[in-house]
């Protein structure tokens, strides 16, 4: 992957919860939802920011353990560019 | 230029400029109040919008307690602009400003906000350093004195939900708490603006117990959610924080409630998770209008009750 991504991950067993907790505390990821690994539970969506250089490893881990996941945002870099672009008028 | 100033996100420098400029341009309406300074010694400015008579009851709104939640400061700017532009044009905001002063803190965590613009877009906490750890920052919404650092917070400085060394250990939370303590007899309604997931939350988050006026708060949030649904497709969920999401002790809304501000809410703005903290500028308008509708609904009900 060449872009940072947001993954939506849904663990369904206690073992999968444990694996997602481990992933979220490694690989320079950032939890969006829930805010901390202690809140991760079965059947609840986890939104995880994954930097491009960790993406392949994280996805391979999820696939190896049959953990359901999808790409929520494919190109966060582009969205950050949009957010920081300044083409507005003066507040007056 | 294709978009307005208020449909863009802004750097901390631009927000400070906007605060000064807004106060200068509206000297009879807006006053700048210096609440204190951040860990890195940046000023914490609140704006006071005050029209007509003195000694009114007041509404407090804080934004940007979590650094990466950019829609939150955007809402505070939006609210001020809307108040100035639509007073005497829109009945709701006119009634609110005729009956309440409004205190608005656009960026409660300026150090963190700057850090998200310059270094790490995903940063959430403050930027304080701790002698015993290499990790930086405290979750300011775990740092207030409401069942501080119990289940749902962490005493690990490396955690995203680190509660700090002691309640109000952070200059940002201490400054806000001191100001609210000094105004507790006039502030009737406390609002803290967050992102994301579209929820209207109220005490308690620090315990599963219900607040003394739980049903009243529930009805107000329900009414606000119903009003949002009338105009927008998105529906806001609502409820007590701990029951609706999870236990989260040390939050500002619980603390304000325990201080005596009986109408205390935390709003989680757009979206439901598609964009999260990276909500595109084109969505700012709807996100702010939804939240504005909730503020107006709840503020009018508070005015009717007090």
Chain B residues whose C-beta is within 8 A of a chain A C-beta are 1-10, 14, 18, 21-22, 25, 70, 81, 117, 121-122, 124, 154, 159-161, 197, 245-246, 273-281
* CB burial string B158-191: b at 16+ within 10 A, e below: ebbbbbbbebbbbbbbbbbbebbeeeeeebbbbb
Active site amino acids of B: 268
Amino acid B1: pLDDT: 45
pLDDT-derived band at A1, boundaries 50, 70, 90: low
Share of chain B above pLDDT 90, in %: 93
- Nearest CB among A35, A39, A88 relative to B7 is that of A88
- Say how far apart CA B270 and CA B285 lie, in whole Å: 11
Give tens-digit pLDDT for B97-126.
999 999 999 999 999 999 999 999 999 999
- Nearest CB among A30, A39, A45 relative to B246 is that of A39
Amino acid B60: pLDDT: 98
Output the six-digit token pair for B92: 């709701």
Does position B155 have pLDDT exceeding 80, yes or no? yes
Amino acid B2: pLDDT: 54
3-class DSSP state of B186: coil
Alpha helices in chain B (DSSP H): 12-25, 71-86, 91-99, 110-118, 171-182, 214-231, 241-244, 252-259, 284-305
Is the ipTM of this structure higher than 0.90?
Answer: yes
- Say how far apart CA B157 and CA B130 lie, in whole Å: 8
Amino acid A90: pLDDT: 63
Does position B52 have pLDDT exceeding 90, yes or no? no
A92 vs B contacts (CB less than 8 Å): 21, 25
Amino acid B35: pLDDT: 98
Amino acid A91: pLDDT: 62
């Amino acid at each position: 992957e060449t872009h940072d991504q947001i993954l939506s991950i849904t663990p369904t067993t206690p073992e999968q919860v444990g694996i997602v907790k481990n992933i979220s505390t490694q690989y320079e990821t950032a939890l969006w939802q829930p805010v901390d690994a202690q809140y991760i539970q079965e059947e609840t969506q986890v939104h995880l920011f994954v930097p491009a250089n960790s993406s392949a490893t994280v996805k391979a881990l999820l696939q190896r353990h049959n953990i359901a996941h999808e790409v929520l945002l494919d190109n966060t870099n582009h969205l950050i560019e949009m957010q920081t672009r300044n083409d507005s008028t003066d507040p007056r | 230029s294709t978009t307005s100033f208020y449909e863009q996100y802004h750097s901390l420098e631009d927000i400070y400029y906007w605060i000064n400029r807004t106060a200068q341009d509206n000297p009879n309406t807006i006053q700048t109040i210096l609440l204190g300074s951040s860990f890195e010694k940046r000023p914490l400015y609140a704006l006071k919008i005050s029209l007509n008579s003195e000694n009114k009851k007041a509404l407090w709104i804080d934004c940007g307690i979590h650094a990466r939640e950019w829609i939150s400061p955007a809402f505070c700017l939006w609210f001020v602009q809307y108040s100035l532009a639509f007073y005497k044009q829109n009945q709701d905001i006119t009634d609110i400003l005729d009956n309440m002063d409004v205190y608005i803190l656009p960026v409660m965590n300026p150090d963190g906000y700057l850090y998200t613009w310059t270094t790490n877009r995903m940063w959430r906490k403050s930027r304080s350093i701790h002698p015993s750890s290499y990790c930086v920052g405290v979750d300011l919404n775990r740092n207030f004195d409401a069942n501080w650092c119990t289940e749902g917070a962490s005493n690990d400085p490396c955690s995203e939900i680190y509660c700090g060394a002691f309640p109000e250990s952070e200059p940002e939370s201490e400054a806000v708490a001191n100001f609210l303590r000094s105004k507790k007899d006039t502030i009737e309604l406390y609002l803290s603006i967050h992102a994301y997931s579209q929820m209207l939350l109220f005490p308690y988050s620090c315990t599963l117990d219900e607040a003394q006026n739980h049903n009243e708060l529930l009805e107000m949030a329900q009414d606000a959610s119903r009003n949002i649904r009338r105009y927008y497709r998105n529906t806001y969920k609502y409820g007590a924080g701990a029951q609706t999401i999870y236990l989260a002790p040390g939050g500002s809304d619980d603390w304000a409630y325990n201080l005596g501000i009986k109408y205390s809410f935390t709003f989680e703005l757009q979206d439901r998770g598609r964009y999260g903290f990276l909500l595109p500028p084109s969505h700012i308008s709807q996100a702010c209008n939804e939240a504005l509708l909730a503020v107006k609904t709840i503020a009018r009900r508070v005015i009717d009750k007090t």
